[in-house]
Amino acid sequence: MTIIDFRLRPPLKGFLDTVMYSQGARRDRITGYHGMKPARSAQAQSIDLLLEEMDEAGITRGVAMGRYSGLYGTVSNEDVAAIVKAYPGRFIGVASIDPSNRGQAIRQIEDARAAGLVGVNLEPGAYPTPMYADDRRLYPIYAYCEDNNIPVVMMAGGSAGPDLSYTVPVHVDRVAGDFPKMKLAISHGGWPWVHEILHVAFRRENVYLSPDQYLCGMAGSEDYVRAANGYLSERFLYASSYPFISAKDYLAWFRTLPIRQEVMERLLHLNAATFLNVSV
Amino acid sequence: MTIIDFRLRPPLKGFLDTVMYSQGARRDRITGYHGMKPARSAQAQSIDLLLEEMDEAGITRGVAMGRYSGLYGTVSNEDVAAIVKAYPGRFIGVASIDPSNRGQAIRQIEDARAAGLVGVNLEPGAYPTPMYADDRRLYPIYAYCEDNNIPVVMMAGGSAGPDLSYTVPVHVDRVAGDFPKMKLAISHGGWPWVHEILHVAFRRENVYLSPDQYLCGMAGSEDYVRAANGYLSERFLYASSYPFISAKDYLAWFRTLPIRQEVMERLLHLNAATFLNVSV
Amino acid sequence: MTIIDFRLRPPLKGFLDTVMYSQGARRDRITGYHGMKPARSAQAQSIDLLLEEMDEAGITRGVAMGRYSGLYGTVSNEDVAAIVKAYPGRFIGVASIDPSNRGQAIRQIEDARAAGLVGVNLEPGAYPTPMYADDRRLYPIYAYCEDNNIPVVMMAGGSAGPDLSYTVPVHVDRVAGDFPKMKLAISHGGWPWVHEILHVAFRRENVYLSPDQYLCGMAGSEDYVRAANGYLSERFLYASSYPFISAKDYLAWFRTLPIRQEVMERLLHLNAATFLNVSV
């Protein structure tokens, strides 16, 4: 069976400059908070070990997303495209943008798509100038993505901005309602606003949820799982958030969840493929 | 045993123009999201079938509420009164108002009471001009209802307005605190803000909760049930939200919940009768 | 084994003027809402009975906090210091301040520390002029406490202010992020915002949680317990919130929670001792 890990950042290029690799002690502490052990590949910053762990687990592909962040560091679209190219069939690339200039941002998207990246990752709270998801400056970007059928990933959970206000799901709800044809995947699953984001996804059929690391050992996980088994069975995305959690260990843990078998297969690859418009 | 379903909209008159009947595919999709099957009576828009289903289940009466809504359609007080009259003993009517003119709104309430309706239903977020529950324009209405011992139902959960901000329980909490003698029932139970509305009801003894359809298969249901068994045993209201869920199927499902027997009897009729000032 | 109850207000001096003693019927109703029975010592306002109950349960010390409150009444630092002195080894005292004059407030802290009190209790929403936790007027106090390694307790859960907005954890999150070296214990554990405060404590390592009475029979308790067993094992504080719940009964109940044995020992005394800089 094909498995797509929707959030997996390999120890390569710009990713090594982001805090998930440059601050290993912080990362390993967070890993422990999830009740998990650090991945050998993460600590060794070894792509070979990572590919080995993925192979052992049967994880076919990982989604590697660019980012443009004041808080967490930047990974350029060029780096993401180079990684996709260097490891054929192992990574699916998603672009990031600089939202401060809408014209330039759209050119970034066009260039990234030409280079094979399949979607856009927005991290409003983590930009050098933090903003909320429904900030007016992002609306031209949303309009462009909706008009061109480009899937949008948004980090709208966890420590997505300087404080907890940046994950309040009201902002995401407005965006999803204002752009009903734009597919929108919520990375970190809106956590900790579990009940509230589950209503957003209940009401807005263009919303996909990827709770990733925050599904693991965190508050509200039973509610995420219930929705995955129910009305979110076609819009729940599987993701480890590697290197914060070992991709291999996360999969082993995920398989222990009480998820119906036919749903499990959707979660592990089909939903991500549908969202990203890629073949399984 | 008498059973009062606190939210039950029959396929009659103005109700047929609201989205719950005019958009059958949307309704049936939502029904499925709750893990339930459409009611035959809802799909056939048949009051005879509905009464048959109610009889089979032992549901004595349903509370039919008027509404004045931009989002969802309007059901006039005249329609509600006519339905109550046409099916003696089967429906309890609750009035709605147009909040844009306070004098007229109070006349609407007076007229509706004269016609036998027993309370007022407010849907702030769904008005043609959406507002929050603590909007100043509603305060004269609240004052009138408190002064005249008129129970107030408020839709303050689910998709109660254009976006998720309209269900944030802070607004309801202020209203309940500012009018401590006004009985206030929260339809849709404040969902998805389950923990927060449970605090509002913990703190404000004039607040009743009716999670209705959002109790079924949705996040946080265990917490609603724990409160129903505990400090909300006299203020938790039973409601199917028919036609979104079959009144009969909802009752069968509700009876499977781990609710103490003596509490179950309160939930199924006594609490609603007390709230609405009607005899059991 | 030593046991420290982090929130225990004896029936003495100024405490008797606060609503927890002056409004006994309200208190007993709340006790019942938690599924518990009133403490004999609370109803009799008897310190001798309280000490007897503490002895029977093995509760070594209780943390008695001053308060300066419009909503709930005031307990002066002088009263708290006198109580600590009058019952040697039984109470640990924490000071309160009047936030309306920052210079005076800091002198209050200095005086209280000289009198043996070990921390500062802030109740922003309950001040005569209610404020949010991130109110600018509190920032000089936070700065002073951070600079002088003074632990800060904040009532930021339950009915902490005139309405639910005063417990929204966004405010606390900003304070914890702006003063990362200031130890901050959240009394009432941020309830009802269970998921959200658990993220604040996940992200901010200077935050301790004390859900106290709101752990008992209330929404989200399983999530608090999961965190206590996991990433909060060194930052979760045991507290009964006596007289709202009997200190003795609370302990008996707390011991039935599925908490790992080695964690239980941390919760019952070591975490509080570490937070307050007192010996076990």
Closest CB from A158, A164, A217 relative to C196: A164
Count of C-beta atoms within a 10 Å radius of residue A229: 19
Instruction: Please report the beta strands in A142-278, taking only residues with DSSP state E, as ranges in sequence order.
Output: 152-155, 184-187, 207-210
Classified as helix, coil or strand, A236 is strand
The token duo for B99 is 């909040």
Give the orientation angle of helix A194-203 with respect to helix A170-178, to 10 degrees.
Answer: 10
Cα separation, A156 vs A171, in Å, equals: 9
Of all residues in chain B, what percent carry a pLDDT higher than 70? 100
Q: How confident is the model at residue C161 (pLDDT cuts 50, 70, 90)?
A: very high
Cα separation, C237 vs A121, in Å, equals: 39
* 3-state DSSP helix/strand/coil % of chain B, to nearest 5: 50, 10, 40
Residues of chain A with C-beta less than 8 angstroms from the C-beta of C194: 219
Candidates C23, C159, C164: best to mutate against B (most CBs of B within 10 A) is C164
Cα separation, C137 vs C122, in Å, equals: 12
Say whether pLDDT at A83 is over 80.
yes
Classified as helix, coil or strand, B20 is helix
Beta pairing partners, C68:
none
Cα separation, A197 vs A169, in Å, equals: 6
Residue A220, chain B, CB below 8 Å: the answer is yes
Strands B184-187 and C184-187: unpaired
Q: Give all chains having 3 or more CB-to-CB distances under 8 Å with chain C.
A: A, B
Cα separation, A233 vs C114, in Å, equals: 61
- Alpha-carbon Rg for chain C, nearest whole angstrom, is 17
Judge contact between B239 and B63, C-beta under 8 A: yes
Residue B177 Rama label (left phi>0; alpha psi -120 to 50; beta): alpha
pLDDT for C164-213, tens place per residue?
Answer: 999 999 999 999 999 999 999 999 999 999 999 999 999 999 999 999 99
Compute the mean pLDDT over every residue in chain A, rounded to the nearest whole number: 97
In the prediction, which pLDDT does C280 show? 77
Say whether pLDDT at A280 is over 80.
no
Q: Find the angle CA(C94)-CA(C97)-CA(C100) to the nearest 5 degrees.
A: 165
Cα separation, B78 vs C67, in Å, equals: 55
Residue C203, chain A, CB below 8 Å: the answer is yes
Judge contact between C233 and C203, C-beta under 8 A: no
Q: How confident is the model at residue A169 (pLDDT cuts 50, 70, 90)?
A: very high
Mean pLDDT (whole number) for A123-145: 97
In the prediction, which pLDDT does C70 show? 83
- Contact criterion met (CB < 8 Å) for A164 and C195: no
pLDDT for B90-140, tens place per residue?
Answer: 999 999 999 999 999 999 999 999 999 999 999 999 999 999 999 999 999
Give the orientation angle of helix B194-203 with respect to helix B170-178, to 10 degrees.
Answer: 10
Write out A119-148 in H/E/C secondary structure: CEEECHHHCCCCCCCCCHHHHHHHHHHHHC
In the prediction, which pLDDT does A71 show? 85
Judge contact between C156 and C167, C-beta under 8 A: yes
Classified as helix, coil or strand, A67 is strand
Judge contact between C166 and C160, C-beta under 8 A: yes
Residues of chain B with C-beta less than 8 angstroms from the C-beta of A196: 164, 192-193
Q: How confident is the model at residue C244 (pLDDT cuts 50, 70, 90)?
A: very high
The token duo for C48 is 């001798």
Domain spanning B4-276: which superfamily?
Answer: Metal-dependent hydrolases (3.20.20.140)
Candidates C165, C186, C194, C195: best to mutate against A (most CBs of A within 10 A) is C195
Say whether pLDDT at B71 is over 90.
no
In the prediction, which pLDDT does B54 show? 98
pLDDT for C94-130, tens place per residue?
Answer: 999 999 999 999 999 999 999 999 999 999 999 999 9
Helices and strands (H and E) in chain B: how many:
13, 7
To the nearest whole angstrom, how far is the Cα of B271 from the nearest Cα of chain C?
17
Count of C-beta atoms within a 10 Å radius of residue B113: 16
The token duo for C257 is 């929670």
Mean pLDDT (whole number) for C144-167: 98
Judge contact between B14 and B218, C-beta under 8 A: no
- The 8-class DSSP code of residue C8 comes to B
pLDDT for A142-156, tens place per residue?
Answer: 999 999 999 999 999
In the prediction, which pLDDT does A70 show? 83
> Model's pTM, two decimal places?
0.97
In the prediction, which pLDDT does A193 show? 98
The token duo for A92 is 């699916």
Judge contact between A1 and A269, C-beta under 8 A: yes
DSSP string for residues in B226-246: HHHHTTTTTTB-----BTSS-
pLDDT for B176-189, tens place per residue?
Answer: 999 999 999 999 99
In the prediction, which pLDDT does B138 show? 98
How many CA atoms lie less than 13 Å away from A83 in the CB half-sphere? Answer: 31
In the prediction, which pLDDT does A1 show? 83
Which residues, at least 6 apart from A235, have a Cβ–Cβ distance to it below 8 Å? A201, A205, A207, A208, A209, A271, A275
Cα separation, A43 vs A243, in Å, equals: 9
How many CA atoms lie less than 13 Å away from A12 in the CB half-sphere? Answer: 23
Q: Would the CA dihedral through B235, C187, C31, B203 be positive or negative? A: negative
- Residue of chain B nearest A193, judged by CA positions: B193
Mean pLDDT (whole number) for C206-235: 98
In the prediction, which pLDDT does B234 show? 98
Cα separation, B98 vs B82, in Å, equals: 19
Judge contact between A161 and A130, C-beta under 8 A: yes
Q: What are the angstrom distances between the C-alpha of A263 and each of A198, A250, B37, B178, C42?
A: 18, 17, 20, 47, 54
In the prediction, which pLDDT does B280 show? 77
Q: Which residues of C155-182 are buried (b: 16+ CB within 10 A; e: fewer)?
A: bbbbbbbbbbbbbbbbbbbbbbbebeeb
Give the number of residues written for chain A.
Answer: 280
Residues of chain B with C-beta less than 8 angstroms from the C-beta of C194: 195
Residue A194, chain B, CB below 8 Å: the answer is yes
Q: Would the CA dihedral through B13, B19, B25, B30 be positive or negative? A: negative
Residues of chain A with C-beta less than 8 angstroms from the C-beta of C202: 33, 218
- Contact criterion met (CB < 8 Å) for C193 and B194: no
Q: Which H helix or E strand runs over C210?
A: strand C207-210
How many CA atoms lie less than 13 Å away from A24 in the CB half-sphere? Answer: 11
Strands B120-122 and B152-155: parallel
Residue A195, chain B, CB below 8 Å: the answer is yes
Q: Which residues of B236-260 are buried (b: 16+ CB within 10 A; e: fewer)?
A: bbbbbbbbbbbbbbbbebbeebebe
The token duo for B266 is 């309160």
In the prediction, which pLDDT does B79 show? 98
Cα separation, A26 vs A214, in Å, equals: 16
pLDDT for A32-75, tens place per residue?
Answer: 999 999 999 999 999 999 999 999 999 999 999 999 998 899 99
